[in-house]
Amino acid sequence: MSGDEVISDKEMAELEGKLSRFKKQLKKSNSRTAVVVALDDKNKPFLEVSYSTSAPEAEVEKDKLPEKFENLPVKTIARDFKPQGTATQRAAATQAASSTARHEILKAGISISHPSITAGTLGCFVVDQQSNKASVLSNWHVLVGAAGRGGDKILQPGSMDGGRPGRDNIATLERWILDKDGDAALAHLTGDRRWIPATFLTNVTFQRARRVRLGETLSKVGRTTEATTGKAKKFGSYSINYDVGVRTIDGFEIVPLVEGNPSDEEISRGGDSGSIWYTSDNEAVGLHFAGETDPSPASEHAIACHLPTVLDRLNARLATQADLMEMLVADLGNGREATSQTVIPPFDGPWRPPFPPFPPIIGPRLPWAIARSSESLSGDAFLDIATSLRSNGVSPWELEIVGHRLGLGRRDDLLPEASVRDKVPEIAPVGWAAIGFAAGVAARLAGKKETSAEIFPLIGAKATAFIVGAIVGAKATDGKL
């Protein structure tokens, strides 16, 4: 195996089995801080037992570790760990682009906290599968702490970054864990601010959650160090001293990409806890919660608990763009502002038209109900949503059509990150007539009484062509032409 290879899922399962059997053979020792599988500089796995730097040598020797276990070398090291979730100083927030600023559109990777805690990171958006409510996920020591109680309000930005109860409430604390499965907490969004399931700065939408593979490159966006990258180097169990006592948590370590960290890169610092570590394929693997106590560059590392395990324990799943669309439709259908708090079943009832739900120009990624109802949103609100949609493969034409419904005149307004004028083929009026004809036929075949010209109002010559085509198509199907 070369130094650049990633450990396969099969190999990971075998290593997890060996680690489990090795831990069962170890004698109890209060000074042991971690038992992990690690990779050496040639990407070869070995077993590592860490002891507190203050542990007496005689106590360490009680374990009498073998030189090898099931063909894996066994090594020892002295080091300590600490929770790394709360900021120790306020960072400057001079512009809206700062992770510590107050954000009207919430994204993963920005400052958040319980009122009694300084500041950590909003890790990601999830759906509480008990209530179907949109929620935020972060650490126990960011959203709860020793003083936290169910129902407490969560602030954005966090307290140290200027967040104040009442003015900056964005979520309500629901439930949490602090045990072998993770340091994590879930809080229901209140609907006081809009949100997008994407990361701050990198605009990544997590595709799924899975277990980490040793050797793979990972990234995260956090409140303090913002966007950083490292490599998964070790996995196992870590003993961390919290305010409420020592907890041993299963997780994995991320280290700088360059061996020895000669440039003294900081991949995480206080205030980053709660961040999500994710792969180059935007798959979320870990919830950051701890880091090193040794300030030397070579000791730089971050520790994350396994995200799939955390989600299972909290009975939650990653929120998707489809969830946001469903929530918006539910809000609009109930005549409320688009606060987007609760997922509804896929479009049903009055929101499902009697003709095929996706006209030819709108693909299945953009729900029909949003196209019909988008005029109820403000231009600014939908622009933020549209930008996120654009990064996930929705075509410029789909966005332009909804832009017309919002009264936005230019494609540049809808896609501020890049002009698409020269990238989108123009559809002539005859094309719109053809599309209208097809829609008219579909409506008549589905038994719709009214003219299908209502179904997709546009503007100008395109609208006229579409309406004429729709009427002709409907009448042709009736046998009147």
CATH code for the domain in which residue 56 is found: 3.30.70
* pTM for the structure as a whole: 0.73
Query: Do residue 343 and residue 416 come from a single domain?
Result: yes
Q: What pLDDT is recorded for position 78?
A: 86
Q: What pLDDT is recorded for position 329?
A: 53
Q: What pLDDT is recorded for position 323?
A: 74
Is residue 369 scored above 50 in pLDDT? no
Beta carbons within 8 Å of 480's beta carbon, 6+ residues apart: none
Is residue 319 scored above 60 in pLDDT? yes
Range of lowest pLDDT (145-154, 176-185, 186-195): 186-195
Beta carbons within 8 Å of 200's beta carbon, 6+ residues apart: 99, 103, 107, 108, 109, 110, 221, 226
CATH code for the domain in which residue 233 is found: 2.40.10.10
Query: Do residue 442 and residue 420 come from a single domain?
Result: no
Classify residue 261 as left (phi > 0), alpha (psi -120 to 50) or beta. left
Query: Do residue 336 and residue 309 come from a single domain?
Result: no
Range of lowest pLDDT (168-177, 282-291, 401-410): 401-410
Query: Do residue 257 and residue 139 come from a single domain?
Result: yes
**Total tally of structural domains belonging to the chain:** 4
Query: Do residue 331 and residue 294 come from a single domain?
Result: no
**Average pLDDT rounded to a whole number, residues 184-213:** 90
Query: Do residue 68 and residue 10 come from a single domain?
Result: yes
> Of 295, 319, 343, at which residue does a domain stop?
319
> Of 319, 352, 376, at which residue does a domain stop?
319
pLDDT, one tens digit per residue, over 43-55 is 899 999 998 888 7
Query: Do residue 101 and residue 160 come from a single domain?
Result: yes
Query: Do residue 309 and residue 340 come from a single domain?
Result: no
Q: What pLDDT is recorded for position 176?
A: 97
Q: Which residues constitute the domain of residue 136?
A: 80-319
Is residue 361 scored above 60 in pLDDT? no
> Of 55, 79, 103, at which residue does a domain stop?
79
Q: What pLDDT is recorded for position 293?
A: 73
**Average pLDDT rounded to a whole number, residues 170-190:** 96
**Average pLDDT rounded to a whole number, residues 222-227:** 93
Contact 332, 372 (CB under 8 A): no
Local confidence band at 286 (pLDDT 50, 70, 90 cut-offs):
very high
pLDDT, one tens digit per residue, over 18-34 is 999 999 888 766 678 89
How far is the C-alpha of 316 from the C-alpha of 307, rounded, in Å? Answer: 11
Is residue 448 scored above 70 in pLDDT? no
Query: Do residue 166 and residue 293 come from a single domain?
Result: yes
**Average pLDDT rounded to a whole number, residues 190-218:** 89
Q: What pLDDT is recorded for position 205?
A: 85
Range of lowest pLDDT (6-10, 264-268, 472-476): 472-476
Query: Do residue 65 and residue 154 come from a single domain?
Result: no
- Whether the link from the prior residue into 115 is cis, omega within 30° of 0, is no
Encoded tokens for 206: 């997590």
Q: What pLDDT is recorded for position 472?
A: 64
Query: Do residue 311 and residue 339 come from a single domain?
Result: no
Local confidence band at 201 (pLDDT 50, 70, 90 cut-offs):
confident
Contact 221, 16 (CB under 8 A): no
Query: Do residue 273 and residue 259 come from a single domain?
Result: yes
